[in-house]
Amino acid sequence: MSEKSGSTDGAKRRPSFIQRARSSLFRAKKNGGSDVATLRGTSGSDFEGTAKVIRGSGSDILGCGCFGGKKDKTRFLLIKGPFCFVFSKETSSSPKYAISLMNMTTDVKNQSRGQQTVLLESSLGDVEYTFVFSTAEFADVADRFAATISQQAQAAQTKQVRERLGHDHLINNRASIFVAEKIALSKLDDQPDVPVTAADVMSSVPLNPVGY
């Protein structure tokens, strides 16, 4: 009888997932909502680093600056679960936008002149983002970034399959992942538009029939 009571007391002392999630959400609201510390939570992030972030492949027609195109700035990146959060800097109060890693793959290019590029590609092979990392401090930073994306994308796909099969009980999300997902969903629409490329322009130009 005493063993049963002790076990019950122990269960009461252990915070449930919902209690931990509520606690994390309370801390998020108290701290302003979505800064780096809030996303790290108590379990930390899956990846952090800085890189130049380019929407698409970088081959847009405005990239040359001839039409007022802006230079790409170095951003602070934080991956938490199946989302990559892009901040202006580590001390920013909130991310500029979030990127879903679901069904994404990466293509890591060879190092060149102290830099290494990682292409983030959709399941159709389209380049969604280009990340340019400096390898001066950490030579493997691009490889770690790509490996984290692969791991989290696979985890997200597994979660999706389990949800479709009704196996929600097999999903064991950290409370901080729950908070990160809430923040990400409010920031996905803030992503920059995909730039127009020269190929896009040419494909929209009507071809004159032969002889005209």
pLDDT band for 172, please (50, 70, 90 cuts): low
Q: What angle do CA 11, 24, 164 make, to 5 degrees?
A: 75
What whole-number percentage of the chain has pLDDT above 90?
A: 55
pLDDT score at 200: 56
pLDDT score at 165: 67
pLDDT score at 17: 43
Q: Is the pLDDT of residue 33 over 50?
A: yes
Taking residues 153-161, report their average pLDDT: 84
Q: Is the pLDDT of residue 15 over 90?
A: no
Judge whether 141 and 152 are in contact, CB under 8 Å: no
pLDDT score at 51: 98
pLDDT score at 167: 54
Q: Is the pLDDT of residue 80 over 70?
A: yes
Taking residues 110-116, report their average pLDDT: 95
Q: Is the pLDDT of residue 152 over 80?
A: yes
Single pTM value for the model: 0.74
pLDDT score at 208: 63
Lowest-confidence range among 52-56, 83-87, 177-181? Answer: 177-181
pLDDT score at 6: 46
pLDDT band for 199, please (50, 70, 90 cuts): low
Taking residues 30-57, report their average pLDDT: 89
What average pLDDT is seen over the chain? 79
Q: Is the pLDDT of residue 121 over 90?
A: yes
